[in-house]
């Protein structure tokens, strides 16, 4: 414990770009580590990219077919023993948001049993400091990209709160495609004071214009939420902000939800095209709301909330129109039947794996050709509070 506290202090004092060096120095001293490297998941969640110069292994490694990827996917340490070498791959995750993998090369005779709890704490401390350091350096942001982002995608990714989040009451994850060229789709969440607020957004248009429109809407929604306004007023304020700038020539579709973490009661405002499916056991059904006007279509729109309840064990899937409206070569929309099949087929996967799995099924449904629109999937597993589960 004393060594962990010292490491945390060293990380806080270190220059933002030297965090991996600080960890490597500490593990050399306390574990006899021969080498330490950090890899971060790329925006497409396909590869793990090295941070800085990784001696002898400068190339990215695939998430789905590598020792590092096994640690990342399972969120558990993965050990590789070779003649004269022992490599330990450890997930780096912060509050459910999977950042990457820390790899330590240790002496082959090292006893891992007493080391693993401390190393897990090291990874947690490193992850927290990376999130703080990103305010002051581009090192970790650059490491996440396997190729160049479009300007629209750069703007959209900077808006996002993370790719996943976990608390005792819920676990959620999201993914956007095409990851390096997304433009109008977005999501946002905030957890505070016993509530989870979740928004799924689709700005009309393409490219930079769609990204600018979505940026305005997301920041207007955040401004209203942080002012303590109820959900319908959050929608109304964002509606006014978008209309004031675009005068009805552009608008934003959004689904806003506020979950009570204690009771599972949900307040919802459906202002456009994002849709919701619920899986309860093996049954999958669309959760339909009264459609209301998208944000910014007309001046001074009044929004009315609707309510429903989620139960422990429920899985909710949110999709943009680029998901459910995508058609197969035979002309069938993905949201008609195929999405429900994909949701049933991924029931045993954790929510962090579901968005990508659904999007892979979408690509197959579409015949393997590039999608005509950007696509967003958000998966939320509801665990409920301790008191709710007990009931």
Neighbours of 200 (CB within 10 A): 26
In this predicted structure, what is the pLDDT of residue 369? 77
Structure tokens at 266: 């949900």
User: What is the SS3 assignment for 135-181?
Assistant: CCCCHHHHHCCCCCCCHHHHHHHHHCCCCEEEECCEEEEEEEECCCC
**Each residue's pLDDT tens digit, 346-360:** 999 999 999 999 999
CB within 8 A of 116, min separation 6: which ones? 77
CA dist., res. 126 & res. 92, Å (int): 8
Cβ distance 202 to 272 under 8 Å? yes
pLDDT at 52 over 70: yes
The residue among 258, 259, 196 whose CA lies nearest residue 230 is 258
- Average pLDDT for 55-71: 85
Mean per-residue pLDDT of the chain: 94
Longest dimension (CA), the chain: 70
Q: Is the peptide bond before 178 cis (omega within 30 degrees of 0)?
A: yes
pLDDT at 390 over 50: no
- Average pLDDT for 113-140: 96
pLDDT at 368 over 90: no
pLDDT at 55 over 80: no
pTM comes to: 0.94
**Each residue's pLDDT tens digit, 266-313:** 999 999 989 999 999 989 999 999 989 999 999 999 999 999 999 999
In this predicted structure, what is the pLDDT of residue 3? 80
| Angle CA 39–41–44, to nearest 5 | 150
CA dist., res. 114 & res. 92, Å (int): 19
CA dist., res. 229 & res. 225, Å (int): 6
pLDDT at 162 over 60: yes
């Amino acid at each position: 414990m004393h060594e962990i506290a010292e490491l945390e202090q060293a990380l806080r004092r270190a220059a933002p770009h030297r965090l991996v060096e600080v960890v490597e120095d500490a593990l050399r001293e306390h574990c006899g580590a021969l080498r330490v490297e950090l890899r971060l998941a790329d925006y497409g969640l396909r590869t793990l990219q090295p941070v800085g110069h990784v001696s002898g292994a400068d190339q990215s490694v695939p998430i789905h077919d590598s020792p590092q990827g096994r640690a990342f996917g399972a969120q558990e340490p993965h050990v590789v023993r070779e003649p004269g070498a022992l490599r330990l791959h450890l997930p780096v995750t912060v509050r459910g948001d999977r950042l990457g993998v820390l790899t330590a090369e240790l002496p082959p005779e090292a006893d891992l049993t007493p080391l693993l709890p401390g190393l897990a704490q090291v990874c947690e401390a490193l992850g927290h400091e990376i999130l703080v350091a990103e305010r002051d350096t581009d090192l970790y942001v650059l490491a996440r990209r396997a190729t160049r982002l479009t300007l629209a995608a750069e703007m959209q990714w900077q808006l996002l709160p993370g790719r996943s989040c976990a608390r005792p009451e819920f676990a959620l994850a999201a993914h956007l495609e095409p990851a390096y060229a997304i433009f109008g789709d977005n999501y946002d969440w905030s957890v505070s004071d016993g509530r989870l607020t979740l928004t799924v957004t689709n700005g009309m248009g393409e490219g930079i214009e769609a990204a600018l429109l979505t940026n305005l809407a997301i920041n207007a929604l955040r401004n209203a939420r942080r002012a303590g306004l109820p959900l319908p007023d959050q929608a109304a304020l964002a509606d006014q902000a978008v209309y004031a700038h675009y005068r009805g020539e552009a608008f934003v579709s959004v689904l806003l939800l506020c979950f009570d973490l204690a009771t599972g009661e949900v307040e919802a405002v459906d202002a456009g095209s994002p849709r919701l499916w619920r899986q309860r056991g093996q049954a999958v059904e669309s959760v339909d709301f009264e459609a209301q006007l998208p944000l910014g279509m007309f001046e001074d729109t009044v929004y009315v909330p609707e309510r429903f309840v989620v139960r422990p064990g429920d899985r909710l899937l949110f999709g943009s129109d680029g998901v459910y409206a995508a058609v197969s070569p035979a002309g069938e929309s993905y949201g008609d039947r195929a999405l429900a099949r994909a949701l049933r087929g991924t029931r045993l996967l954790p929510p962090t794996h579901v968005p990508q799995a659904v999007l892979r099924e979408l690509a197959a449904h579409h015949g393997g050709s590039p999608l005509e629109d950007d696509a967003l999937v958000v998966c939320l597993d509801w665990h409920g509070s301790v008191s709710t589960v007990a009931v």
